[in-house]
């Protein structure tokens, strides 16, 4: 019933469509971009329920106050405290290694503001846990959600981050002016 309702809202009422060419394994990290609005979270929850899968998400600890905290935790929320001496990547990677099934969605920009320097925590979690990263793009202009690429972390962070950013280049966020991959245009010789 919930799945049918979410499908109706997301695909019929809101007009989104979905394309997926990558198979979801038992364990993975989803990198979701662009992230320019709180609506991204709502679309994500609708999408997850419409497609019938569970996926955790990381969110600033600030949002886990009562009554939202218990609701976010029940939905799969993991509160993140950004401190210097706290390795969230190690903790999450260990949790993934110890689980039979684990799905976690992270927005690489780490904020809804324009951010050319993307956070690499999602990459390091996947690298340490030895799981792939599925790239999910959310395009408000075309009302389109797509997962057409999987990246298996090798440790070549700079080149693989460029590959990830290039995948997200064509996607348009709710507020396009707030999204950038930070990639410099390649000059043709």
Mean of pLDDT values over 35-57: 90
Q: Residue 152 falls within a domain, yes or no?
A: yes
**188: pLDDT strictly greater than 60:** no
Query: For residues 2 and 129, is the Cβ–Cβ distance under 8 A?
Result: no
Tokens at 78, concatenated? 């993991």
Q: What percent of the chain has pLDDT over 90?
A: 61
Q: Residue 182 falls within a domain, yes or no?
A: no
What does the mean pLDDT of the chain come to? 89
The whole-number pLDDT of residue 16 equals 97
pLDDT tens sequence across 110-142: 888 998 899 998 999 999 999 999 999 999 999
Residue span of the structural domain in which 39 resides: 2-175
Nearest-angstrom CA–CA distance, 69 and 46 = 19
Q: Residue 82 falls within a domain, yes or no?
A: yes
Q: Residue 180 falls within a domain, yes or no?
A: no
**84: pLDDT strictly greater than 80:** no
**106: pLDDT strictly greater than 70:** yes
The burial class, CB within 10 Å (0-12 / 13-18 / 19+), for 150 is middle
Tell me the DSSP string of 6-66. Answer: HHIIIIIIS--EEEE-S---SEEEEEEE---STHHHHHHHHHHHHHT---EEEEEGGG--T
Q: Residue 126 falls within a domain, yes or no?
A: yes
pLDDT tens sequence across 167-181: 999 999 999 999 999
Mean of pLDDT values over 1-9: 95
The whole-number pLDDT of residue 82 equals 62
Number of domains observed in the structure of the chain? 1
Mean of pLDDT values over 28-43: 94
Q: Residue 189 falls within a domain, yes or no?
A: no
Q: Residue 70 falls within a domain, yes or no?
A: yes
- Residue 88 or residue 180, greater confidence: 180
SS (H, E, C) 64-76: CCCCHHHHHHHCC
The whole-number pLDDT of residue 83 equals 61
């Amino acid at each position: 019933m919930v799945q049918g309702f979410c499908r109706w809202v997301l695909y019929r009422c809101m007009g989104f469509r979905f394309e997926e060419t990558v198979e979801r394994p038992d364990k993975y990290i989803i990198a979701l971009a662009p992230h320019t609005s709180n609506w991204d979270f709502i679309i994500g929850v609708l999408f997850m329920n419409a497609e019938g899968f569970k996926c955790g998400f990381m969110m600033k600890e600030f949002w886990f106050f009562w009554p939202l905290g218990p609701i976010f935790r029940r939905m799969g929320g993991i509160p993140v405290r950004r401190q210097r001496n706290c390795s969230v990547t190690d903790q999450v990677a260990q949790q993934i290694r110890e689980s039979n099934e684990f799905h976690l969605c992270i927005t690489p920009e780490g904020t809804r503001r324009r951010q050319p320097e993307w956070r690499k925590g999602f990459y390091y979690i996947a690298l340490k846990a030895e799981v792939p990263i599925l790239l999910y793009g959310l395009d408000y202009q075309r009302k389109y959600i797509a997962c057409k690429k999987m990246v298996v972390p090798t440790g070549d962070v700079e080149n693989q981050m460029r590959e990830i950013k290039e995948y997200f280049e064509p996607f348009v966020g709710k507020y396009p002016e707030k999204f950038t991959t930070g990639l410099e245009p390649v000059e043709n010789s």
